[in-house]
Every structure is written in C-alpha cells, then in structure tokens.
Amino acid sequence: MATYIRACQFRKQIQNFKCFHNADRRLLVNSSALRDHNYTCHSCLQTSNRTDLLQIKHPERLLRQFHNRSRTLTSTFSRKDPTTNVYQNNLFARFHNGRIPFNETRVFYSSRAASADSPGSDGDGDDKGDSKPDDTPTEQEGVEVQTSVTYPMSALTTTTIPDYFPNIPVIAINRNPVFPRFVKLIEVNDKKLVDLIKRKVKLNLPYAGIFLKTNDSHDKDVVESLSDLHKVGMFVQIKEMRELQDRLQMWVEGHRRISIVRQLPEEVELQNDMAALTNHLGEQISKKKGARKSRKERRLEKVNGGNGGHVDVQPEAAAGMTEESSAREGMLNTTIMSDVLMVETENTPDEPFTSDMKLKALTAEVVKTIKDIMALNPLYREHLYHIIQGQRVLDNPVFICDVGAAVTTADPEQIQQVIEETNIPARLELVLSLLKKEFELSKLQKKIGQEVEEKVKKQHREYILREQLKIIKKELGIEKDDKDAIEEKFRDRLKGLVVPEHVKTVIDEELNKLGTLDNHSSEFSVTRNYLDWLTCLPWGKYSSENLDLARATQILEEDHYGMEDVKKRILEFIAVSQLKGSTQGKILCFHGPPGVGKTSIARSIARALNRQYFRFSVGGMSDVAEIKGHRRTYVGAMPGKMIQCLKKTKTENPLVLIDEVDKMSRGHQGDPASALLELLDPEQNANFLDHYLDVNMDLSKVLFICTANVVDMIPEPLKDRMELIDVSGYVAEEKLAIAEKYLLPQAREHSGVKPEQVHLAKEALTELIKSYCRESGVRNLQKHVEKILRKAALKIVSEGVERVEVTPSNLYDFVGIPKFTRERMYDVNPPGVVTGLAWTAFGGSTLYIETVVKKALDLDTDSKEKGDLQVTGNLGDVIKESVQLAYTYSKLFLRRVDDSSQFLEKAHIHLHLPEGATPKDGPSAGCAIVTALLSLALNKSTRQNVAMTGEISLTGKVLPIGGVKEKVIAARRSGMECVILPEDNRKDFSDLPDYIVKDLEVHFAAHYSDVFSVMFPDIQFKSSS
C-alpha cells in the first residue's frame, strides 16, 4: 500500500477515504479487503494487485500510510471488535449521517504535519521498501479512494460529543427548529458568523447553538440582543459544511437542549479552544483505555514531545493552564467571543419521570397519531418509517416527543413551548395537541387532493369519450371533419345573399387557405374569425321601407309633441323616396339643448320609415379603430362600429344614430372626427373600407342621424357634410302639453300607479314648470313627475289612501322647495341697468347688465383725470372685446344726445354681469351694454319690460345673432312685453310658432339709433353726419 501511494501521481491531493460501515455507521476497515485484492486510485485510475502488503494484524498502520502524504490523523485505529474482527476508530469514527451520501463524506485532519514525511514512510519511519512503481491497484469493496473535494475544509465529525460545552456560536432562525437526533440544513449569510464557524470547524470544534427568534420578521442571522432570542435552544454538531459564494451551507445534528446564560463580549483565542477540546477528549479516552498505552499513543507521545498523546498547544495558551485544571475548567476559563456571535450556555436536562400507565398511554397515542399522519401524508411516510419501525419507541417518550414535534407544521411559538417544556408528560400532551391539528390538516389536504384528482380524471375521461365519439361519427358519415363542417357552415350562410364579386373572390381564397391550416395554429383562428365576419354581413338584404306619408305622420305625432321642422324633413325624405321608387341614404344632424328629444326622435323616425335602428355614441371617443376597425394582425382585432351595425341589424339600409358628435376628442390613436368624414360623405360611403374586412362596403343606403348640443364644436369639414336641423327648447305651454300627453302616462306605467289613484292637477303642473323646471328640455320635468308619483305610491301603500290629489298648495310636500322663486332680477330697472338676452346650451335666458359709478365724478374742465371702465362677471375674451367696443361707441353716441356731456370721459364706471359663477361669452350683448352706459350717463331709466339682443359694430351697425327662438322664449318666460332684434334676424322670427310670438311686441334694428329710439322715446338726438 505504501508503494502504491508513492506511485500515485495525485497522492498529495487524496483527502477522502471510503469503506464499509456497519449499522452504527462507524468507519471500519475490513480485514478481507487487505489481502490479495486489486486496488484502484480514483484520481489516476491506476490498478495494481497488492499481495505483498503489510500483515493484516496492522490495519491501522495501513490507514496511516494512506493518509500520511498530506496530514496526520489526530486519532488512531486501535480497538478491535471481537465479533466482527474489525478495527474501529474510537475518536473520529462517526463519519456521516443518513442525509449525506457516504462517498461525499469529508475526513477532517489536524494541523500537525507528519513527522516521517519521507517517501514510503507510514508515519513512524519503519517502512523499508517500495513495491513496483508501475503497479496500480484495483478497486475493492473494502478500501476505496474518493478524490472530489467540494470544500477543502471539511466538517468535523467526532465520535464523542462533549457533555458540557458552554461557549458556542449562536445561529438565530425564524422557523422549524432542530430536535435531538434530527438533521437540518441551515444557511448562514452573515460574514462575521460565517468566519467564526469556519474557524471553529477548522479547530475541530464543530458545535453551535440554534435558537428561535422572538420576531418572525427579523431576517438576519445575527441578533442584536438576547431579547430577540428565546432562551432555550438546541446544542448542535455541524456534520457537513459547504461554502456557496456569499453564504455558508451546513448540515447540523441536534443533541440536547441548552439555555443561554449570558452574552460573551470578548473575542475567543483559537488556541485555547483547541487546547480545551483536546484535554477534554483526552480525558474521556484515558478513562476508557485505562493506564495501558497503545503503540500509536507511544508513537504520538514521541512525536509531540511527551504530551501523552495530546496535540501540542502554543506556549502562550499552555502557560495559562495549571496542571490541576480539568478539561471542563479549561473550557470555562477560555476567553470569549463578541456579544453578537457568542453566548455562554448551560444544559437544560429533562425532569425525572416515572413510566406509569398514563405516560405509556400518552406515548402510545402520540405514536398512533404519527402513524395516522404517515398514512395520510406521503411526505412524512418515508422519513418516519425507519424511525418508528426501527426501534422500540414506546420505551423512549423523550424521543417520541421530539419526533412528534419535528413532523408538525405548527407556529414557531408552539414549537418553542415543546422545546422549553422539561416535564415529559406535559411535553407529550403539547406534542399530542400539535399532532392532532396536523392530522386534521392532513385529512383536509387529502380530501382536497382527492377532489382535484377526481375532477381531472372526469375531465380526462370526457375528453377521451368525445374524441372516440368524434371518430365513430366520422367513420359512420354522421359527422364531418372540423374543417369540412366549418367550410360548409360558411357556404350555407352565403346562400340567398347577393355577394359582390370582389367579396366572393376574397371568401373563396380564405376558405382554400383555411383548408391547408392546422386546427390548432393561431393563423387558423384568425382566418376563421375573418370568414365569420364576412359571411355574417347582410349582402344585398334591405328592409322594405314605409312610403306611406299618412302612417309616418301618425307615428311621429304619437311619440313627440312639436318639433315641426324635424317631422317635416322626414316627410320630405319619404316623399322623395316614393317618387324615385327606391330607398336612399342621408346625413342629418339634430342640434339643440339637452332634453328636447333629439335621441328619442331618431327611434321614432326609424319606426316611421320601417328601418332597423342602431345607435352608438362618439362622445369622448379618441380611437379611430372604433369607426374604421383594427388591422387583423392585432390580437383581439374587431371591425368598426358600422360593420358591427350591419351584422346586428341584418340589413344594408338601417337608421344609424351617431350621438354626441360635438364631444369627440383627439388622442394618440388618431382623430375620430376625420374618420367620420369618409363615413358621412355621400360621395365616399358607397365604397367604405373597413381596416378589418379590407373589402369595400356600400353604405349609401344608410340613413345617418347625428345629434349635438353645440354645432360650433363640430369640425367644419364634418359639419359641411351634414344637414343641420335646429331642435330648440320648449316654452311653458309646450312643456305642459308634453307632460300631460307623454310624461305623465309613462310615469304612471313605470311606478304602477293607476290614473284613478293619483290626480295631478293642471295648475300643479304649471307651477311645477314655472318654479322647478325652467330649462329648455323636459328631462328634468320628467324626473319631477316621476318623483311625485313615487311619493304618491308610498302614501297609498303605507297609509292606505285610496286617492292622492296633487295641487299647487301641497306640491311642496312632493318635490320640496321651489328652485325659482322670482321671474326676474329687477321688477323695475334703475338707471344703468338693462335686460339683455343670452343663449346657452340649456336654452335661452335673460342677461342683466349693471353699471354704476364707483368714484365721485369730477366734471371740472381743467382736470386732466380720465375715466376708466372695470368689467366683472366671469366674461370670455369675445364679450370683453364687445364691452370695450360698446364703451367707445357709447362715448360717440352720447355726444349726439348731449355734446356738452363729459360723463363717460371722466367717470370711473364698473360694469358687471350678474351670476359670476356662470361663464359668459359672445358678441350679442353689444346693444344692451351701450344702452346701459347711456342710461347711466343720462341718469335715466330705460323703458321697462324690454329685452334686447344684437351685436354692435364700431360705427353703430346692429349685426345678426343666433339662437333667436331660445332668446325669444326666455324673454317670454321672464314676462317681457317687448323684444328688440337685429334687422337681419327678421326671417328667423317669422318662423317662430304663433303661441311663442303671441302678444309680444318686437322691433327690428338696423342701427343703434333704432334701439335708442325704443329705449328712450322721449329723448331727441342728433342724426349722424
């Protein structure tokens, strides 16, 4: 063997030795492996038959020869087992645990080099010769060399564990503490703790203390104080250690319970630790071996200078130890580590117990529960089988407690209670409680697993049966292949449709493409969806349009009151279609305030024309794809709204309502208003191209109706393609008729109240319109009517009233406090105040212009002070310019009235338009502002109950305005007797219904002098030069 080791070119790298082991897992040397067998080096793969080795009576010398090239073993193989005729190591025989493969076990060596280091030496200098250098031994079952080394400083595995070892490093963990006789994998990241453990292991002190943290959220390996740790923990031995980049991985085995005594604030000296351990282990060996010294001890004594087989320590450490000090006192007297890493501990023994009937019953119940858990949970079955079956566990309740606590998944606090409990019966009860909870959890886990497994089996079985049924039907000709069925379905849809030739060509190409694709490919799904849309469209299908004017008139009158312009335009559309003998498309735009019936009239028009109705809103829309569709390459691509409309209505001539066209927005995905240009252009929509379909669609037969509140917000190119129809607000008389004819019957139907149960008087409706619902539309009036009927229904049900009368006197009980308590701001306008008229999105309203002098007027001709004009009232830029223009013109016109007056030149005037929270803008208040300034300058009130509107130029021309109907309605609603309008708006006034202009005096002004003559009839003025 010595010759073989010297011949091995890797002999200095060999640090592993693998051999047989018995049930006690001790390192053994089999005598049969030392005779006439081949040996193989695992590094150089040289094999040799060794028949001339040393005699079998010296196996320990053989082992030393194997290792003396590198380092000398600190122990000897000296005791022979008489039963197996095998030599065993007393000190370092426990080589591995059950969790680590035996061939990966590392042998630990002391730091003292071999004294006999010459080639062929076995450690004592007695070897005389070498065998043939080229002889290479073969591998045998007794001796084997393992060369892979993953960690150069291997874990220390000593046979004897110190009974008392106080100063140990602290490893703090959050969960799953280790128990005696159990092995746990631990990773340490703290650099100081890693360095300390490596140094301890290098000194053959592979011990540590594992303690649970009091705070689970603490994620560091080192705690700051003892208050962060539980006092009782576990004394462990490091069995295996491996360094992985920035962390240290260790396999540790628990041995006994220990308690923390105190922190150790000073650094320990490594030599003292080594000396303490060596002396302690030497005492134990000496007690067992007696006074007789073996040959190896004598040899070690000769090598170490007469220390009795102990390893020499440094003189500095040896001087501090007296001859009388025992090994335990040596360990107690050593210096200590820092407060964070090292602690002083003491053993925590269990209390004495008597093995009575209760204890045996508890132990048996714990074992039974563990076996039940093993039967339910396969995770524990393999791990606990050998533990439960391999020994008489009923005779060892302490071990059973540790086994039971180790297999539970309880909270750390509950596990810590088991560790800290020293009374064995009480500990058994704690463990039994935890095991019962674990057993219930395992039963629930098994139940859930069975349910999931049954569900999966059922689905798998159904899938297999479906596939078999599909194949059977296909063989019998009952059912066709998926692709054939899909193609047949698409072709059946096209039967009876007049498909354009270019569309038919695309469909045929896509069907041929579908036949070549795999059913599970993504392209197959895209093609199938595309064909689905193409074949669902109503190619050549039109609804039969109603061309009966009388029936159309009847339907329109049934659903809506008034709106003569709209009804007349629809009747014109029907008349043209009747003369042409075919349907046609058109683009109409209804604009007006909210609640006047723009959207609802579109549904009535569709019913009157017998067309399918489709509505979509473009308010807030910022994506062009909503109208033009997505490209088919996108995931989830869909056609635009118009293609969806045709699929839903199943005709090519529906009525499409595009709501809120004045509220479209522009985003990064395009401008929908521009996309509507193609859709709403009669010259282009005959060949409308959707991005998804990519084929031309004929939309020329579609009747488009758009709605808007303010036409100024519609882009001019889009507005140019539409026919604008004004849907103005309603006056009180119209609202009353709408409420009686439409709103009240609808509210009765929705609330379930019969006409004989609730009577809403006409006077109450008039008061409701006058004091609560003055807006142009009737939506708010509808809400109030429904509110009245709901309150009446509650009264009928709760109080048992048979009939409820709603009159102006009790209207307050149903709808609350009136919102409008007065008709107008001023009953009599003072000097400087004029009533104007304004248009809003909610209809017309009166607009008062107030002017006052804010500073004492100084009419001294010698004064150089000039007047100014302050304007307030939340005004826009246009109306501010109109105020400045009116201020300039009023100065000019005042000279025509009184050429000596310097009032407007000297006065500091404040002009205000009330209701400052309401934004105001527009040029139509010019005439009213000039009149207010002249009234203030002349200190004379204007004619009462007169309202005016009109834009004024710098030379006094009165320019036309818009919203004549709304403004006249507002004047009439406010009780005005006279209205002044621009001359150019005479035609607009003549179109108003008689019930609006009845008993209303109107004047048309082409120049401001006409306005002045009406407002100040008793004042003469000079004509303009």
HEC sequence for 317-381:
HHHCCCCCCCHHHHHHCCCCCCCCCEEEEEECCCCCCCCCHHHHHHHHHHHHHHHHHHHHCHHHH
Question: Tokens at residue 175, please?
Answer: 């969960």
Query: Any idea what the Cα angle at residue 905 is, between residues 901 and 907, rounded to 5°?
Result: 95
- For 798-927, strand residue ranges (E) read 804-806, 833-840, 843-853, 868-872, 908-912
Please state at what angle helix 424-476 crosses helix 412-420, rounded to 10 degrees. Answer: 140
Question: Tokens at residue 174, please?
Answer: 């959050």
User: 726: closest CA among 708, 703, 702?
Assistant: 708
First vs last Cα of the chain: how many Å apart?
141
Separation CA 723–CA 704 (nearest Å): 10
Separation CA 309–CA 350 (nearest Å): 36
Separation CA 881–CA 877 (nearest Å): 6
In eight-state DSSP terms, residue 1007 is B
Q: What would you report as the CA-atom Rg of the chain, rounded to the nearest whole angstrom? A: 53
Separation CA 109–CA 369 (nearest Å): 45
Question: Which CA distances in Å does 147 have to 11, 20, 105, 860?
Answer: 10, 17, 11, 121
Non-local CB neighbours of 829 within 8 Å, separated by 6+ positions: 835, 941, 942, 944
Residue 787 appears among annotated catalytic residues: no
Pairing of strands 908-912, 868-872: parallel
Residue 967 appears among annotated catalytic residues: yes
User: 197: closest CA among 150, 153, 147, 144?
Assistant: 153
Helix extents (H) in 477-613: 482-494, 501-516, 522-536, 549-559, 564-580, 598-609
Three-state DSSP state, 73: coil
DSSP string computed for 179-232: -BT-EEEEEE--HHHHHHHHHHHHTT--EEEEEEBS-TT---SS-SSGGGB-SE
Separation CA 800–CA 795 (nearest Å): 7
Separation CA 443–CA 259 (nearest Å): 37
Q: Which of 442, 920, 967, 974 is catalytic?
A: 967
In eight-state DSSP terms, residue 102 is G
Separation CA 428–CA 353 (nearest Å): 12
Q: Which of 924, 935, 965, 974 is catalytic?
A: 924
Burial 216-230 (b: 16+ CB within 10 A, else e): eeeeebbbeebeebb
User: 340: closest CA among 229, 248, 232?
Assistant: 229
Task: Measure the CA dihedral 5/6/9/10, to 10°.
Answer: 50
DSSP string computed for 578-633: HHHTS---EEEEEE-STTSSHHHHHHHHHHHHT--EEEEE-TT---THHHH---TT
Q: What are phi and psi of 814, to 5 degrees?
A: -100, -35
Three-state DSSP state, 82: coil
- Bridge partners, residue 345, by sequence: 260
Instruction: Return the number of other C-beta atoms located less than 10 Å from residue 877's C-beta.
Output: 8
Separation CA 639–CA 691 (nearest Å): 7
* Residues annotated as part of the active site: 924, 967
